[in-house]
Structure 1
Amino acid sequence: MTVALASGRVAVGRGLWLAPLLLGATILAGTAIGETRLPFTVVLRTLANHLWGAGYPVDGIEAGIIWSYRLPRAIVAACCGAGLALTGVVLQALLRNPLADPYLMGLSAGASTGAVLVAVAGIGGGVVSMSLGALCGALLAFGCVVLLAHAVSGGTGGGRATQAAAAIILAGIAGSQMFNALTAFTIARSANAEQARGIMFWLMGNLSGIRWEDVGACLLVSLAGIALCLWHRRGLDAFTFGADGAAALGINVPALRGSLITATAIMVGVLVSKVGAIGFVGLVVPHAMRFLVGTRHDRLVPASALAGAVFLVAADVISRILVPGQVLPIGVVTALVGAPAFALILIRGARR
């Protein structure tokens, strides 16, 4: 069975060259399927008209829906899925904790707080953008979580690695609750009823307001994150043996941790400022890809990015068609998948 699993992983790894085709087909499906289903031929003709000036006859309303609404939404969903999956890969490798992801670690909650403080409370006087506010919130949240986890697990006694792994998750949950409370307090104090309704929907993950001007930032941070993770793939592999083992293999542990955690915070900050806090992508996708392609990061990083992109585009489509006439927050769909997966990971870890 081990040989068969290894052979399957090799086959999946060799099939990664098909990733652009799969991603393109997924984005095409995300553009065609929605509250009103549009034929794939109409989507292709609209794309040909805008990209190459083909001149196909297409209804103006349908063309507007495809080009101005659904296509940028699908692209941003793919970028967010790839970025959030990568943050899970990085955090789980650096912290050696299978439950680490930006949602459970409090990064998403901190980024939401920073974005809301800028957008609603007016922090920064209009000079600070939502993305910068979300970045500062994510860094602050991670700093609080690390300090709290260090204080909890810094005592003496056996089982230090297990204690530290549990402590950082508990610290992340505590940090998430604290920053969620700060966000709720800010909304209650500074937002009117209409703003509060819109922000609460956005906080659960919302792609309805995405337009072409949002694509550039999401695409940039996602591609930069993939490139950085691939550049440091050997360092991430070395963390399998722990920080001391990585240092013995010649890895500059403080520099690697600092650069990758900063990159993670930047990705989370930018993505959350655009689409809100979407949970469980960074938890579920890396575990599924480790099962399929193994633990080597030269395969795990591109596989997780691809799977995260496909997963979030599919979740966005489901959020639009699950309840007829109503669009659900995308975080509801990811939680319906992620919560059972989280339970399975806990059970598997307890058995080990």
Structure 2
Amino acid sequence: MIPTPESTSISRRSLLALGGATTAGAALAAFSAAPALAVPTGAADAFSGGGSARMARELAALERATSVTIGVVAREHGDRRAFRYRADSVFPMCSLFKTLAVAALVQARGYDETYWSTPIPFTDADVVTDSIVLDDLDPQQATPGFLADAALRFSDNTAGNLLLRELGGPGAITAFAASLGADRTRLDRWEPDLNAAVPGDPRDTTTPDDIARLYEALLLDDAAGVLAGARLREWMLRNTTSGARMRAGLQPPYELADKTGGGSYGVVNDAGVLWRAGRRPLTLVILTRTDDPNATRNNEVVAEATRIVVGD
């Protein structure tokens, strides 16, 4: 366990960049006047990249400055050690389920060429909010591959629901996660209801530990098969939705295969695998939650958490 720090620090640049419930000035003033912060017991000083105690202190300061609870796992591939911060705490999963849905479908039907080339019809009744790709699609039909691309690269909610329908419903995600050893991940509802993120509601939740286990298994270890791993990497390396989250906290050159999610109560998530020259692949998971029903989504929290954990 990391001892309670005597002091915490975070850059003035970082605080001034933060939005959310407090203004930058108020956040800076509150942080400057705050007493030392205790590091959560879920923070582990066992990260091969070093600096775990510093990272835990800075994440605690970021939580205090933004009123956002943050969960993080960072693990280099092949290393049993990991940096863990609130890693066993429960967080809303939101659209992170879409990676699991696509993986499960490719695992089950990946080599059925007829299936992947046959369009799946849908109607106006199937179209839900935040469906940037399928909302205006005419005719209303899409192949499974098109749905997977829309769900992973653009986080299209209608595509996510149609994938769930192909799998037999949300319970298939719970079963698939459990088959890979993630027994604290569950999906109960469809889009957009699964993004309600009400504090204390166990539905549609996961933990940073579970998402790290799942994404590492799928993207690096090909746990759903070589074809599923290859297709996931192809789609997720070209993700379009994380420009203000993880990608905003990274310094090029790098390659990132990730999936974002967002919900009510200001929830913003991002999880994936990071490749950088001369380094082992890094599985990185950043989940957030608040208790404020009026909280707005603060992407900079994820970006700053990425800077803290990954550095340069």
Quick check: which one's strand share is greater? 2
Quick check: which one's helix share is greater? 1
Larger Cα-atom Rg: 1
